[in-house]
Amino acid sequence: MFTFLISIAVLIIGYFVYSKVVEHIFGINDQNKTPAYTNKEGIDYSPMPWWKASLIQLLNIAGLGPIFGAVAGALYGPVAFIWIVVGCLIAGAVHDYFSGMLSLRHNGAQFPSLVGRYLGNNMKIVINFVSIVLMILVAAAFTAGPAQLIASLTPLSFSFALALIFVYFLVAAVLPVNRIIGRIYPIFGAILIFMAVSIGVALLFTENPIPNLTLENLHPGELPIWPLLMVTISCGAISGFHSTQSPILARTIKRESDGRKVFYGAMVAEGIIALIWAAAGMTFFGSTGGLQEALAVGGPAGVVNEISTSFLGALGGILAILGVIILPITTGDTALRSSRMMVSELVEKFFKVRGLKGVLLATIPVTIPTIWLATIDYTFLWRYVGGTNQLVATVMLWTAAMYLLESRKFHWICGIPALFMTGVVSTYFLYAPEGFSLAYERSLAIGGGITLLVAVWYVYKIRKAHLQVTNGAASQNIA
């Protein structure tokens, strides 16, 4: 229990201390007008109070991610606590802050546009495709589960439940951000927080003690911690999906100083939620072996329902059902909205179509494949979401590092976690079944080699930037 409580304390202290360091390095200026005012058009650009934006951001980036992912990551044991805390403060929250604030500074630009600005057009083309695919995968994955649960609890068929969800998706993706998202989502965000806090308090009084820190890998299937833990627990530690969601709120922020509370703060809140559910997974079933058996029988949804109803009674059952139905739907909704916003930029650029017509034109090509994917195996979808998600996170961190390097600021704050995630992603795709499925030792060797090559490129960019500064100073002295 001591490790669990210390972990929560470190996350809270980290928000009040490290977030200010990150904010100082970025350099805010509340005299700058934000896109919510300069681009105000009543659909995506609309000023919103920071507390409301924070709750919406939390719901957008969280959904079931910090619950299902943390429960699955709990199979590795208390070492998951380290990854959640360090990953959240040093990588994930930094990632979210820069993805939101860079969007804000670049007129509410979407993630691929930021990549193109700092990593080049070739990378922009690649990441545009990858990001839209990720959004479609997330929307599909977070739709199939709720539709199945609705079908099991009501007389409705799976197909009809799926159709109802997608009708809502289409309406929510097209309507102005303040109509549905701005009014209802803060309430759902509060429910997510209440559910996590209730489980956290109940954990303190359970018969089974929350395990304290050990670096031993307790996974019953003997799966390696590196890099699988870093992909299994993404929401709550670092998730590239967040970089596609942050621009939605970057277009609503009133002042630049609100960014720390909205982007960094929401990520820390998600980290706390992930800690609570990881602890619940390790504790409730007595061992990681017991947790694995429960996951095999009922899946993550069954585990969440069993823990909730056991700890909180009827209220827990209601919250579990709300969580497993509403939270993924809200994540799928904003994933579809985000992909629509990305396609809208392309529609506006190539077809010169703007306004509501452009929004409708951009919604169709992302909705059709999402509907089809929602009908196939959920496990298959989720495997591909994990790797793609962390690839996007890595690219966002490199984008932020290049921005800081270009701005002559302390770029290591993004560069070091970017290198770490490069190693994670490289090794994962080499080792994972959905990747090249190589032997573990070979994956480590090749992944390490790729990371070293990227490190050499990083050093080259640093030296190049320093030479430009030196040459510029020399020219001024001559003049």
Mean pLDDT of 62-86: 91
Most confident range, picked from 161-165, 246-250, 339-343, 403-407? 403-407
Mean pLDDT of 290-314: 86
pLDDT digits (tens, 9 = 90+) for 419-432: 999 999 999 999 99
pLDDT digits (tens, 9 = 90+) for 99-114: 999 999 999 998 889 9
What CATH homologous superfamily does 2-378 map to? Amino acid/polyamine transporter I (1.20.1740.10)
Interatomic CA distance for residues 290 and 303, integer angstroms: 11
Most confident range, picked from 189-198, 413-422, 434-443? 413-422
More confident position, 137 or 287: 287
The per-residue pLDDT of the chain, averaged, comes to: 87
pTM equals: 0.89
* Per-residue pLDDT at 293 exceeds 80: yes
The percent of residues above 90 in pLDDT, for the chain, comes to 49
Interatomic CA distance for residues 242 and 235, integer angstroms: 9
Q: Per the structure block, which two tokens stand in for 424?
A: 């994670």
pLDDT at 475: 59
Predicted confidence band of residue 326 (pLDDT cuts 50, 70, 90):
confident
* Per-residue pLDDT at 378 exceeds 70: no
Residue that has been written with the tokens 């959920």 in this structure = 378
The percent of residues above 70 in pLDDT, for the chain, comes to 90
Local structure of 156: helix, strand or coil: coil
pLDDT at 452: 98
* Per-residue pLDDT at 315 exceeds 90: no
Interatomic CA distance for residues 213 and 82, integer angstroms: 8
Is residue 391 within 8 Å of 425, Cβ to Cβ?
yes
For residue 48, the cross-strand partners are 253
